[in-house]
């Protein structure tokens, strides 16, 4: 098992990642609301607020009692729904680790718009793979994949501390972001190509669509003086260190902070496939297909 735990890439422009924490709070509150419902009502909520491609494209219709919002609005509401606690935790872990630096590079308002656009791109990519799918799509990881794509271009040489757990071998290893994140994106492409459908309950093409959107949009959303492919990114504990040049030191001998978070002398900040699987609800649409309906989480 490979589980990212934290990076050590300091912020520089914003004192606090308000939007990142706000998104985490909203997703958590929505999940607690889902968990408070009885099982049948919780299943109905997934169908009512999740994105169902066949419904959005007009090929199917939900029963009237499940039409809580217009079909087009589910492209947004589905981003804040989750299918289980591990689904939520996995997604929020990635967002917590990477979101603050991307928010730092863009500013609060631009980052929120960027996040939502990446989420919409992810949902559209998933729907275009199978426009007749009757499986509800829920989860924030399409939008978070956009954050991953942006971080990859902004801080490829920052280090992400990853927990490696293989049987009795457990170790935290600092890995350059370009290796860890490029590997994750590549894995989504391979898995999506092997199973162009829902990937056994995981919407891989939503991940790919979100990541591509993030990489395409980041040059337009970042501040003009923020470089891409920043080579000074923070280093994880145990990562190789290079001596800083004399001109990179502030008066008094204290090293100047690299672009990113405010320098705390290696203060470490606080993402497992951000997905989950499970049994799907058995609510049927007006023209149900054969067999049970499964829910892709992404």
Instruction: Supply 9's token pair.
Output: 């890439």
CATH number (domain holding residue 48): 1.20.1540.10
- Does residue 271 sit within a domain? no
In angstroms, the Cα distances linking 268 to 152, 234, 255 are 19, 9, 17
- Does residue 199 sit within a domain? yes
Do 167 and 112 meet the contact criterion of CB atoms below 8 Å apart?
no
* Domain region containing 9: 2-234
pLDDT at 184: 84
Q: In 3-state terms, what secondary structure has residue 297?
A: strand
pLDDT at 285: 67
- Does residue 225 sit within a domain? yes
CA-CA distance, 206 to 295, in Å (whole number)?
14
- Does residue 175 sit within a domain? yes
Number of domains composing the chain: 1
- Does residue 182 sit within a domain? yes
Indicate the pTM of the whole model: 0.77
CA-CA distance, 190 to 132, in Å (whole number)?
23
Which backbone phi and psi does 42 adopt, to 5 degrees? -65, -40
Q: What is the pLDDT tens value at each position of the chain, 298 positions in all? A: 678 899 989 999 999 999 999 999 999 999 999 999 999 999 999 999 999 999 999 999 999 999 999 999 999 999 999 999 999 999 999 999 999 999 999 999 999 999 999 999 999 999 999 899 999 999 998 999 999 999 999 999 999 999 988 888 889 999 999 998 888 888 788 877 776 555 456 788 899 999 999 999 999 999 999 999 985 444 444 444 544 554 555 555 555 544 444 444 444 443 444 444 444 455 666 654 444 445 566 6
- Does residue 94 sit within a domain? yes
pLDDT at 82: 95
- Does residue 51 sit within a domain? yes
DSSP states of 188-253: HHHHHHH-SS-TTTB-HHHHHHHHHHHHHHHHHHS-TTPPSS-TT----TT----PPPGGGB-TTS
Q: What's the distance, CA 224 to chain centroid? A: 24
pLDDT at 267: 40
* Residue that has been written with the tokens 């290893």 in this structure: 173
- Does residue 149 sit within a domain? yes
Quote the strand ranges of 11-168, DSSP E.
159-166
């Amino acid at each position: 098992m490979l589980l990212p735990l934290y990076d050590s890439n300091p912020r520089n422009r914003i004192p606090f990642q308000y939007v990142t924490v706000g998104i985490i709070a909203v997703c958590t509150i929505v999940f607690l609301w889902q968990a408070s419902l009885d099982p049948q009502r919780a299943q109905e909520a997934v169908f009512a607020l999740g994105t169902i491609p066949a419904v959005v494209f007009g090929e199917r219709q939900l029963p009237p009692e499940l039409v809580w919002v217009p079909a087009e609005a589910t492209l947004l509401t589905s981003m804040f729904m989750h299918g289980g606690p591990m689904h939520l935790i996995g997604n929020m872990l990635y967002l917590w680790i990477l979101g603050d630096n991307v928010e730092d590079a863009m500013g609060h308002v631009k980052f929120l718009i960027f996040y939502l656009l990446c989420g919409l791109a992810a949902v559209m990519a998933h729907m275009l793979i199978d426009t007749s799918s009757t499986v509800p799509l829920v989860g924030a990881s399409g939008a978070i994949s956009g954050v991953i794509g942006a971080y990859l271009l902004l801080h490829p040489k920052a280090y992400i501390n990853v927990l490696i757990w293989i049987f009795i071998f457990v170790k935290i290893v600092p890995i350059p972001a370009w290796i860890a994140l490029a590997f994750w994106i590549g894995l989504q492409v391979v898995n999506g190509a092997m199973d162009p459908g829902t990937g056994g309950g995981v919407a891989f093409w939503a991940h790919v669509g979100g990541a591509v959107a993030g990489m395409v949009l980041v040059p337009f959303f970042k501040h003009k003086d923020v470089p891409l492919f920043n080579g000074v990114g923070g280093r994880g504990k145990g990562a190789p260190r290079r001596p800083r040049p004399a001109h990179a030191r502030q008066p008094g001998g204290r090293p100047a902070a690299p672009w990113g978070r405010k320098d705390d002398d290696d203060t470490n900040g606080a993402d497992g496939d951000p997905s989950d699987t499970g049994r799907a609800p058995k609510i049927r649409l007006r023209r149900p297909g054969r067999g049970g309906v499964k829910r892709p989480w992404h």
